[in-house]
Amino acid sequence: MELKKYDVAVVGSFYNISWVASELARQGWSVLYIDLHSVLGRWPMEDIEGPFGFFTSETLNPFYVEKLNNEEALVSQDSGFTVYLGSGPLEFKSSFIQYQLQQLGVSSGFISRLESSTENFYQASQKSDEFISHFEKSWLEFLTRSLSSQRDVAFGDPVVCEYPLPLMNPFFTRFLTRRSLERNSQWLRRQNIDTFEQTHILDFAVGASKGISGFEAKGELNGIVQFKNLVWGLSSEETYYCRPQLGKILFPKGVTEPIWTWARYSVDVTLDRETKQLPLHSVWIDDRNAPWTHENLLIWQRTTSETLYDVWILIPNNQRFNKDYITYYGEKIVQKWSKRFEMSAAKIHNYPQEYVYTYQDLGPSRWVRYPHRHQRGMESKEYNNVYFNNYEVWDQLNKETQYQSQKKLIDKVTDKLKKETTKELR
């Protein structure tokens, strides 16, 4: 059965690109949105939200912030973004932060850039000369470029980063639930976007003019869907995991394998006067001069229970399902807590999902880093009407970079649709 023809079909995972569908529809284009999260593994919502939090800024489209708030309320961290070094915490909304950064040797130029508007901060960061060689002055700038990077980076590497983390902006966290996915679906439907999340895509229809003209759908939506343009929000690995036939068409060179993955432990702690003062979210760096992986860099995020923390650690992707490896680093995390808070105890409440399930159950990791040289364009090289927007395309994994990448994609698709419409009217 042949169904309605759309200007754009948007296919996402866990509503990662639902804002793209919303904006295209807001501009008057007919849009179909399909989310494939039901076939992408057993993932709790904490793993979907990830470890990076959210910075607000004047550069963000208010409808994008509306989408985030619609999923779940943003919770402000009054202390701002917080980094714990061996010498103590750096709270980026503190009145002492300038003095602390100066004492740590951070470049005065970079401190000034952090205090400027977000747009100026982004622009100035592209022209930083000190960043290349002076680690003592530039370690904080490296943190803004590397913490949420989707590529393996080391200090001294040329780190291409258009949107480094604006550390002095207001900082928020969220506590997603399964209802958050339902709210996304409802939000799109209120905008008269045809939205489906219990639908499988079986195969693509490849046209004669180097384009994909439609796909065969099964589930809530049954039949042949036709469209002018396709926006694909799954990585190559997610696509092959979902259905190899789709992967072979969209990613004929195969899967791009990540080399690092962020794993989430659940840690139970006892409270005392000191630990009660911990912020909702903090980044712990034990030794600034050692590699920022494994137990040397941990991201601690409090859950809805004040004694329970999600702790994110960067480990090699090839060790994801190694139970001995996972157990070993669980012990390291507990030791880090005990060393910092001698009067408080910590124990592992739950190991990462990979400790319990197999790759067949989980599929690709939700938060990864690819090889340093990895690069995938936003537009497909094989098909002239296919656009990608996923982990492999973003140069950072935080929400600010996702937004900026999606904004560029929307402009590309809109320009193409306008040209096609003008051509049809001639």
Query: Sign of torsion, CA 275 279 282 287?
Result: negative
Q: Is residue 87 part of a domain?
A: no
Judgement on whether residues 55 and 196 belong to the same structural domain of the protein: yes
List of E strands, 270-351: 281-285, 297-302, 308-316, 346-350
Helices 178-190 and 62-71, axial angle in degrees (round to 10): 140
Whole-number pLDDT of residue 132: 56
Same domain for 410 and 287?
no
Asked whether residue 319 is assigned to any structural domain, the reply reads yes
Of 341, 363, 385, the domain-final residue: 363
**Residue 58 buriedness (CB in 10 A; 0-12 / 13-18 / 19+):** exposed
Same domain? For 57 and 195 the reply is yes
Tell which of 113, 135, 168 closes a domain. 168
**Burial (0-12, 13-18, 19+ Cβ within 10 Å), 374:** middle
Residues 295, 344: one domain? yes
Order across the sheet with 171-173: list the strands.
54-55, 171-173, 75-76
Residue 55 lies in a domain: yes
Domain that holds residue 240: 2-73+176-256+373-425
Helix intervals (H) in 207-261: 236-242, 244-250
What domain count does the chain have?
3
3-state secondary structure 24-77: HHHCCCCEEEEECHHHCCCCCHHHHHCCCCEECCCCCCHHHHHHHHHHCCCEEC
Kindly state the tokens that stand for 242: 């979902």
Q: Give the distance from CA 94 to its chain's centroid.
A: 27
d(Cα 98, Cα 282) in Å, to the nearest integer?
Answer: 18
Lookup result for tokens 């200007």: 7
Asked if residue 72 lies in contact with residue 176, where contact means CB atoms within 8 angstroms, the answer is: yes
How far out from the chain centre does Cα 393 lie? 11
Torsion region of 14: left, alpha or beta (phi above 0 gives left; psi -120 to 50 gives alpha): left
356 in the same domain as 289 = yes
Please name which of 48, 74, 46 lies closest in space to residue 60, comparing C-alpha atoms.
74
Say whether both 351 and 406 belong to one domain.
no
Task: Look at the alpha carbons of 48, 22, 66, 146 in this order and tell me if their dihedral is positive or negative.
Answer: positive
| Pair 161, 222 in one domain | no
Residue carrying structure tokens 């006067």: 273
414 contact partners, CB below 8 Å, separation of at least 6: 24, 27, 29
307 and 245, same domain (yes or no): no
Q: Are residues 325 and 354 in the same domain?
A: yes
Burial of 91 (0-12, 13-18, 19+ CB in 10 A): buried
pLDDT tens string, the chain, 426 residues long: the values are 556 799 999 999 999 999 999 999 999 999 999 999 999 998 999 999 999 999 999 999 999 999 999 999 999 999 999 999 988 899 999 999 999 999 999 988 889 999 999 998 888 776 555 555 678 888 999 999 999 999 998 876 666 788 999 999 999 999 998 899 999 999 999 999 999 999 999 999 997 778 999 999 999 999 999 999 999 999 999 999 999 999 999 999 999 999 999 999 999 999 988 889 899 999 999 999 999 999 999 999 999 999 999 999 999 999 999 999 999 999 999 999 999 998 899 999 999 999 999 999 999 999 999 998 877 888 999 999 999 999 999 989 999 999 999 999 999 999 999 988 887 766
Is 88 within a domain? no
CATH number at residue 181: 3.50.50.60
- Distance between start and end Cα atoms, the chain: 31
- Domain-terminating residue out of 363, 382, 413: 363
List C-alpha distances in Å: 118 to 108, 128, 142. 17, 15, 17
Within a domain: 86: no
pLDDT at 290: 92
3 state DSSP class of 205:
strand
Co-location of 61 and 183 in the same domain: yes
Do 160 and 300 belong to one domain? no
Q: Within a domain: residue 26? A: yes
* SS3 state of residue 312: strand
Q: Are residues 18 and 51 in the same domain?
A: yes
Six-digit token string for 286: 């034990």
